[in-house]
């Protein structure tokens, strides 16, 4: 297929998928520009692959709003390092996708521009915060998409939507150009229809970046050779991730996947990550704390929509801008973050959460040090839930991340792979690897993908 | 009652670097506004700071000249407040783990002879309000 035909096909699919509300910005002109840029030159390893990009990663030409009114109409004067590398490798930016505002959410219901609909059932959520990117890949509009994770926001929607979602080791991909939410947690991450597509995109965008001092001092990750089987590997099953009351469909999917893992020659062993129950509370102290500082720059002074006039002082400007520009979930988290960092409470909340974070990370280190190569767990406690089901109780919404957020706290690579369907809804299995072992994790996932049909009913 | 006067001095010193503390923009005065700027010092969404190595060298040199203990590991921390001349809504400074601590400066006073002035700490930060 020629680049020109690929561009036209992508445009047609974007138009056909409008009812998902997964896209915030795209245009024929922009796609044509991307095609023209690649025409007549080397195609690079991504060979013209159209890739959708979550709208909290800055791009040239297409706006970056983070699904927030406070950045409505904002066009960045620079592009993220990950985008520059994606395009240099022959990828095309297809569209900017919808998300929970400033990446804060687990359902993409907190966007200022309407929620995203699950491609299989519009009454359901696609997960979040990278729900737009996940939905577009699941709907077959693009083969891959970029999202971001702070506490599971690519793995969780990947599980809900039935696609592959990969969070790399923290520092594997430059954060320069990713709008900061939780700086010590944020990772640009990848959705793909297959492990191979996700791995190719991850390889293209990875590598040390002088503009991001937290990147790993390593060259771009090579595309890993897929494993033929799992012989010689020990896969740990952390007991805290298999509670008695696990959704029966998820349990059936996991049982089937674990049987396949054994068929492929791996040894499975029960392990324990004892501080697991503290992951969600720890995350919801640390992430809001970092967010309260990272979102302080949105004050209406230098960028954003036109300022309200006639205000008596600068404080009134801030209140008008931020009070109206930020949605309720963003304001909730800024308030929590400011509170836990305030004098008198700093040690009790933030200090304690920092120490707990170290213990959570240590749980993983200890297990990996004892001959376990990878961990395998459910990605989410249930399949996709209905829109509106969890919006009344923020804590219920936060618990959707119960199996994914410890990995973020520990900075480890993790991914979700579709392992089957329950009542027609996708279920994801999660692989977790030691820090830096992104390649081996993807290689093992490729072997499992070959023997598991993600569209098959599990019970 | 006898009273002893104790005066603490907080001295801000602009280091002689060619570029700014956390980005590669020229640290020059007198140009047209918004000339020596970039996404980092403007605090644009997604921009990240990278510490100026020369500033760390000069700061360390000053610390040694002041007989301080230089700490191989120090931490940049955010000082959060809102002000229109503060692009990020925080100033990157150092708080509980500064570059250097515990020094002294010996001076000769005409009235009192040799005096030792204690240096509590020395740290690096970006100059708030001078982006």
Q: Rounded to a whole number, what is the distance in Å from the CA of A211 to chain B's nearest CA?
A: 7
State how far the alpha carbon of B43 is from the alpha carbons of A206, A268, A294, A299, A441, in Å: 24, 48, 10, 11, 36
**H or E segment to which residue A443 belongs:** helix A438-451
One digit per residue, pLDDT tens: chain A, 459 residues? 899 999 999 999 999 999 999 999 999 999 999 999 999 888 999 999 999 999 999 999 999 999 999 999 999 999 999 999 999 999 999 999 999 999 999 999 999 999 999 999 999 999 999 999 999 999 999 999 999 999 999 999 999 999 999 999 999 999 999 999 999 999 999 999 999 999 999 999 999 999 999 999 999 999 999 999 999 999 999 999 999 999 999 999 999 999 999 999 999 999 999 999 999 999 999 999 999 999 999 998 888 888 878 899 989 999 999 999 999 999 999 999 999 999 999 999 999 999 999 999 999 999 999 999 999 999 999 999 999 999 999 888 888 899 999 999 999 999 999 999 999 999 999 999 999 999 999 999 999 999 999 999 997
Q: A177's torsion region: left (phi>0), alpha (psi -120 to 50) or beta? A: left
pLDDT score at A323: 93
Catalytic site positions of A: 54, 129, 153
Name the closest residue on chain A to residue B92, using Cα atoms: A293
Measured distance CA(A69)–CA(A321) in Å, rounded: 10
Chain B CB contacts of A293 under 8 Å are 78, 80, 89-90
Q: A224's torsion region: left (phi>0), alpha (psi -120 to 50) or beta? A: beta
Residue whose pair of structure tokens reads 């359902």 in the numeric block: A107
Q: Using DSSP, state whether B115 is helix, strand or coil.
A: strand
Contacts of A59 (CB under 8 A, 6+ apart): A53, A76, A79, A80, A83, A93, A96
pLDDT score at B84: 87
- Virtual torsion, Cα A166, A95, A25, A61, nearest 10 deg: 110
What's A177's DSSP letter? T
Sign of CA dihedral A158, A164, A170, A174: negative
pLDDT, tens digit, 9 for 90 and up, residues B19-45: 999 999 999 989 998 999 999 999 999
The token pair that represents A42 in the structure block: 């080397």
pLDDT score at B55: 98
∠A68-A76-A48 over CA atoms, to 5°?
A: 100
Measured distance CA(A294)–CA(B43) in Å, rounded: 10
Q: Whose CA is closest to A67, among A99, A105, A109?
A: A99
On whether the CB atoms of residues A161 and A126 are closer than 8 A, the answer is yes
DSSP one-letter string for A216-285: -SSPPPPPPPPPS--TT-EEEEEGGGS-TT--HHHHHHHHHHHHHHHHTT-EEEEE--TTGGGHHHHHHH
* Interface membership of A1 toward B (CB under 8 Å): no
pLDDT score at B129: 75
Q: Are strands A164-167 and A234-238 parallel, antiparallel or unpaired?
A: unpaired
Q: Whose CA is closest to A205, among A194, A192, A140?
A: A192
On whether the CB atoms of residues A130 and A167 are closer than 8 A, the answer is no
pLDDT, tens digit, 9 for 90 and up, residues B39-92: 999 999 999 999 999 999 999 999 999 999 999 999 999 999 999 889 999 999
Chain A CB contacts of B39 under 8 Å are 76-78
**H or E segment to which residue B6 belongs:** none
* Interface membership of A167 toward B (CB under 8 Å): no
Q: Which of A77, A175, A292 comes nearest B39 by C-beta? A: A77
ipTM value of the model?
0.94
Measured distance CA(B4)–CA(B8) in Å, rounded: 13
pLDDT score at B2: 96
Q: Are strands A50-54 and A23-25 parallel, antiparallel or unpaired?
A: unpaired
pLDDT score at A353: 98
| Beta carbons of A301 and B45 less than 8 Å apart | no
The token pair that represents B73 in the structure block: 């590991």
Q: Rounded to a whole number, what is the distance in Å from the CA of A77 to chain B's nearest CA?
A: 8
Measured distance CA(A58)–CA(B46) in Å, rounded: 7
Crossing angle (nearest 10°) for helices A352-369 and A279-294 = 120
Measured distance CA(A373)–CA(A405) in Å, rounded: 20
Q: Which of B43, B48, B80 comes nearest A212 by C-beta? A: B48
Contacts of A30 (CB under 8 A, 6+ apart): A61, A62, A93
Q: Rounded to a whole number, what is the distance in Å from the CA of B79 to chain A's nearest CA?
A: 9
Sign of CA dihedral A100, A33, A176, B16: negative
Chain B CB contacts of A301 under 8 Å are 84
DSSP one-letter string for A191-208: EESSHHHHHHHHHHHBS-
pTM tops 0.95, yes or no: yes
Name the closest residue on chain B to residue A188, using Cα atoms: B46
Q: Whose CA is closest to A454, among A198, A142, A159?
A: A159
List Cβ<8 Å contacts ≥24 apart for A301-309.
A301/B84, A302/B42, A302/B43, A302/B44, A302/B87, A303/A71, A303/A74, A303/B44, A303/B45, A304/A70, A304/A71, A304/A72, A304/A74, A305/A69, A305/A70, A305/A72, A305/A73
Name the closest residue on chain B to residue A290, using Cα atoms: B78
Q: Which of B42, B46, B88 comes nearest A179 by C-beta? A: B46
The token pair that represents B17 in the structure block: 């670097």
pLDDT score at A1: 82
Q: Whose CA is closest to B118, among B23, B7, B12?
A: B7
């Amino acid at each position: 297929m020629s680049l020109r035909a690929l561009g036209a096909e992508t445009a047609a699919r974007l138009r056909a998928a409008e009812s998902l509300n997964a896209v915030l910005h795209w245009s024929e002109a922009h796609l044509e520009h991307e095609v023209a840029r690649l025409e007549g030159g080397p195609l690079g390893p991504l060979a013209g692959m159209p890739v959708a990009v979550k709208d909290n990663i800055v791009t040239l030409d297409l706006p970056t709003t983070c699904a927030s009114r406070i950045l409505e109409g904002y066009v960045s004067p620079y592009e993220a390092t990950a985008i520059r590398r994606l395009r240099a490798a022959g990828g095309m930016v297809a569209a900017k996708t919808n998300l929970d505002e400033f990446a804060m959410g687990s359902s993409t219901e907190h966007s200022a521009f309407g929620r995203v609909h699950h491609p299989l059932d519009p009454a359901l959520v696609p997960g979040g915060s990278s729900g737009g990117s996940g939905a577009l890949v699941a709907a077959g509009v693009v083969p891959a998409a970029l999202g971001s994770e702070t506490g599971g926001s690519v793995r969780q929607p990947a599980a809900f939507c039935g696609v592959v979602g990969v969070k790399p080791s923290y520092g594997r991909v430059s954060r320069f150009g990713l709008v900061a939410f939780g700086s010590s947690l944020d990772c640009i991450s990848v959705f793909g229809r297959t492990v191979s597509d996700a791995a190719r995109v991850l390889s293209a965008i990875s590598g040390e970046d002088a503009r991001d001092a937290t990147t790993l001092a390593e060259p771009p990750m090579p595309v890993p050779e897929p494993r033929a089987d799992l012989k010689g590997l020990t896969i740990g099953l952390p007991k805290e991730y298999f509670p008695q009351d696990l959704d029966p469909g998820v349990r059936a999917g996991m049982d089937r996947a674990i049987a396949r893992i054994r068929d492929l020659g791996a040894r499975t062993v029960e392990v324990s990550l004892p501080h697991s129950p503290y992951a969600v509370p720890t995350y919801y102290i640390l992430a809001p704390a970092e967010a309260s500082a990272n979102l302080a720059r949105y004050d209406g002074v230098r960028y954003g929509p036109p300022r309200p006039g006639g205000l008596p002082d600068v404080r009134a400007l801030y209140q008008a801008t931020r009070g109206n520009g930020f949605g309720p979930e963003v304001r909730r988290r800024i308030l929590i973050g400011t509170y836990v960092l305030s004098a008198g409470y700093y040690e009790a909340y933030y200090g304690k959460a920092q120490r707990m974070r170290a213990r959570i990370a240590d749980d993983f280190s200890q297990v990996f040090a004892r001959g376990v190569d990878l961990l395998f767990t459910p990605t989410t406690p249930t399949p996709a839930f209905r829109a509106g089901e969890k919006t009344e109780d923020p804590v219920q919404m936060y618990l959707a991340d119960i199996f994914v957020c410890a990995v973020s706290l520990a900075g480890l690579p993790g991914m979700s792979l579709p392992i089957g369907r329950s009542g027609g809804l996708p279920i994801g299995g999660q692989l977790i690897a030691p820090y830096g072992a992104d390649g081996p994790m993807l290689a093992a996932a490729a072997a499992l993908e070959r023997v598991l049909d993600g569209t098959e009913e599990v019970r | 009652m006898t009273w002893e006067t104790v005066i603490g001095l907080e001295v801000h010193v602009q280091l002689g670097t060619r570029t700014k503390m956390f980005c590669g923009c020229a640290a020059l005065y007198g140009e047209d506004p918004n000339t020596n700027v970039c996404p980092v010092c403007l605090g644009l969404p997604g921009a990240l700071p990278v510490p100026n190595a020369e500033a760390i060298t000069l700061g360390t040199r000053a610390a040694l000249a002041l007989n301080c203990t230089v700490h191989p590991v120090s931490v940049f921390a955010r000082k959060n407040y809102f002000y229109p001349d503060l692009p990020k809504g925080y100033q990157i400074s150092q708080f509980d783990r500064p570059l250097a601590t515990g020094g002294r400066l010996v001076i000769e006073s005409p009235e009192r002879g040799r005096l030792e002035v204690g240096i509590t700490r020395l740290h690096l930060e970006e100059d708030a309000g001078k982006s």
